[in-house]
C-alpha cells in the first residue's frame, strides 16, 4: 500500500508535537521497555496514522482525547478500529485522562493486551 506524501508529513508532524498523554505512553513503551515489545509511534497505515504500534505483537495503542467522547467521533473510531483489525491488528484505546492521571494503570493495560495476544480477539 503506497503512502501519500501528505500522510507521511502529517505523521512526522504528529511525532514532533505529541501531546502530553502520548509522551507518557511513549516513555512507557519506547526502547522495548514494555515486555520487550518494539513499538513505533505515529505510523501511517492506509489513510490513518496510528498513535503506537507493535507489529511483532500486532497491537495498536490509541490515546484518545476529549474529542473522542463525541458521538460522531465514536462512530468514526468504530469504523477506524474495524479497518485496523482488518489489517490483522488489535486496538487498545486509552483515554488521555487515564494516561495522565494513572500512567501505571495505562502501562498495566498495555501489558495485559500484550499478554492476551495469544487468545482470540474480542
Single pTM value for the model: 0.78
d(CA 73, CA 110): 23
Provide the domain limits for residue 17: 5-114
Please report whether residue 120 resides in a domain. no
Residue 122, domain member (yes or no): no
In the chain, % of residues over pLDDT 90 = 65
- As a whole number of angstroms, the distance between CA 122 and CA 35 comes to 22
Q: Judge whether 119 lies within some domain.
A: no
82: in domain: yes
Give per-residue pLDDT as tens, 72-99. Answer: 678 888 999 999 999 999 999 999 999 9
Q: Taking the CA atoms of the chain, what radius of gyration do you get in angstroms?
A: 14
pLDDT value of position 117: 74
Domain count, the chain: 1
**pLDDT for the residue 19:** 62
The CATH number assigned to the domain holding 84 equals 3.40.960.10
Amino acid at each position: 500500500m503506497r503512502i501519500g506524501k501528505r500522510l507521511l508529513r502529517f505523521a512526522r508532524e504528529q511525532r514532533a508535537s505529541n501531546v502530553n498523554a502520548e509522551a507518557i505512553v511513549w516513555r512507557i513503551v519506547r526502547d522495548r521497555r514494555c515486555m520487550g515489545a518494539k513499538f513505533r509511534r505515529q505510523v501511517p497505515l492506509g489513510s490513518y496514522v496510528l498513535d503506537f504500534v507493535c507489529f511483532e505483537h500486532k497491537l495498536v495503542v490509541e490515546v484518545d482525547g476529549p474529542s473522542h467522547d463525541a458521538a460522531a467521533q465514536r462512530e468514526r473510531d468504530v469504523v477506524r478500529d474495524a479497518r485496523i483489525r482488518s489489517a490483522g491488528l488489535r486496538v487498545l484505546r486509552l483515554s488521555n485522562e487515564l494516561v495522565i492521571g494513572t500512567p501505571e494503570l495505562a502501562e498495566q493495560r498495555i501489558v495485559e493486551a500484550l499478554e492476551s495476544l495469544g487468545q482470540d480477539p474480542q
